[in-house]
Amino acid sequence: MRELIPQFPGAKVSFLVCSDEPRTEQEFPGLPVVLSVNTPVGDLYALTKCDYIFGPLSTYSQWASFYGNVPLFHIHDANHRMDRAQFRVSWLEDY
């Protein structure tokens, strides 16, 4: 998240955190986060309305990207730097 914020100069950046595990804002010190408290279907729909999606390799985020036409970045390696240019809309034939 900290790597992405500077890649949007002049924009107000915030993050919607969706998880199937309980999360707290304290896990994200100093970051502008909103924690989802919705259902899995509600979270999926909320992700389709985001400007960008990133997370672990998952058909859940892939579907949100495809359905909402939202650029996606799957994190394969925790040490890989996230670059806004690497996000792209997921197409089902990619997998």
pLDDT tens digit sequence for 46-68: 999 999 999 999 999 999 999 99
pLDDT of residue 92: 60
Instruction: Count CB neighbours of 82 within 10 A.
Output: 15
Q: Where are the domains of the chain?
A: 5-94
Res 37: pLDDT: 84
